[in-house]
């Protein structure tokens, strides 16, 4: 059993459980995107990132092919990351509002970022089997992030994946499982506050399904819950 987040991250980076995803990430890293042709793509599973003593946990879906799969850090180098880190900075969880590369000086305070899947999937859709193979990494993080009190899940898949990794999916009858809805807050039996949000993907932000006002409200709510 892993005994530290460093051990978990090392295991994530070396993971080969999902051949389809590993092949896809390697191909993307080899072919690259024209605007990033000078980059040395990461091309491996992406570990979690943040403060080991965090009280806030943010759970996303998966690395973006030309975002975290390129940079090697969660939500770094793409538009979703621009939305996330701007909000984290605004509400005091990050020391800067942008995240472009692993060596850009970004640091998180009282916040840790994880994901349902650690490899970039084709069409941003990991299979159910791939999510199940990846779940032990989130389970391991949850055992080690002992101070987490508020969890923000980005999208329905991340929401359900966290409930399963934390054990609540099995422990609670279906009618008592917190349902996913943007802005919804649920209190789990151990006191953990679960906040649901739409994912800040282009599909949601470019269409107006998720606005800045809606997005900022999520992290303002998380900050208030931590203050209570």
pLDDT in tens, 78-112: 999 999 999 999 999 999 999 999 999 999 999 99
**pLDDT over threshold 70, residue 18:** yes
The residues, any chain, with a CB within 8 Å of residue 47's CB and separated by 6 or more, are: 8, 9, 10, 12, 13, 74, 118
CATH number of the structural domain 5-227:
3.40.470.10
pTM of the model: 0.96
Quick one: which of 66, 92, 96 has its CA closest to 79? 66
Average pLDDT over residues 184-205: 97
User: Do residues 60 and 50 make contact, with C-beta atoms less than 8 angstroms apart?
Assistant: no
Q: What pLDDT score does 155 carry?
A: 98
Q: What pLDDT score does 1 carry?
A: 52
Parse the chain into domains and list their residue ranges. Answer: 5-227
Tell me the CB-side half-sphere exposure of residue 224, using CA atoms within 13 A.
Answer: 8
Condensed to tens digits (0 to 9), the pLDDT of residues 125-184 reads 999 999 999 999 999 999 999 999 999 999 999 999 999 999 999 999 999 999 999 999
Q: What pLDDT score does 4 carry?
A: 95
Q: What pLDDT score does 228 carry?
A: 87
Q: What pLDDT score does 3 carry?
A: 79
Q: What pLDDT score does 2 carry?
A: 64
Mean per-residue pLDDT of the chain: 97
Angstrom distance (rounded) from CA 169 to CA 143: 16
């Amino acid at each position: 059993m892993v005994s530290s987040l460093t051990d978990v991250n090392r295991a994530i980076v070396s993971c080969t459980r999902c051949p389809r995803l590993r092949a896809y990430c390697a191909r993307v890293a080899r072919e690259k995107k024209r605007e990033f042709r000078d980059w040395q793509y990461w091309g491996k599973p992406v570990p979690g990132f943040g403060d080991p003593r965090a009280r806030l946990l943010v759970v996303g879906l998966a690395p973006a092919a030309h975002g975290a799969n390129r940079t090697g850090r969660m939500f770094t180098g793409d538009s979703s990351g621009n939305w996330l880190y701007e909000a984290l900075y605004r509400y005091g969880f990050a020391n800067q509002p942008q995240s472009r590369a692993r060596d850009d000086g970004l640091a998180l305070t009282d916040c840790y970022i994880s994901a349902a899947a650690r490899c970039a999937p084709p069409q941003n859709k990991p299979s159910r089997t791939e999510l199940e193979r990846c779940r032990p990494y989130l389970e391991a993080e949850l055992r080690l992030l002992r101070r987490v009190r508020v969890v923000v899940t980005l999208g329905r898949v991340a929401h359900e994946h966290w409930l399963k990794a934390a054990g609540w999916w099995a422990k609670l009858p279906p009618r008592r499982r917190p349902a996913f809805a943007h802005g919804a807050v649920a209190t789990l039996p151990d006191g953990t506050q679960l906040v649901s949000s739409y994912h800040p993907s282009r599909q949601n932000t470019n269409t107006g399904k998720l606005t800045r006002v809606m997005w900022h409200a999520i992290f303002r709510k998380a900050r208030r819950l931590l203050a209570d």
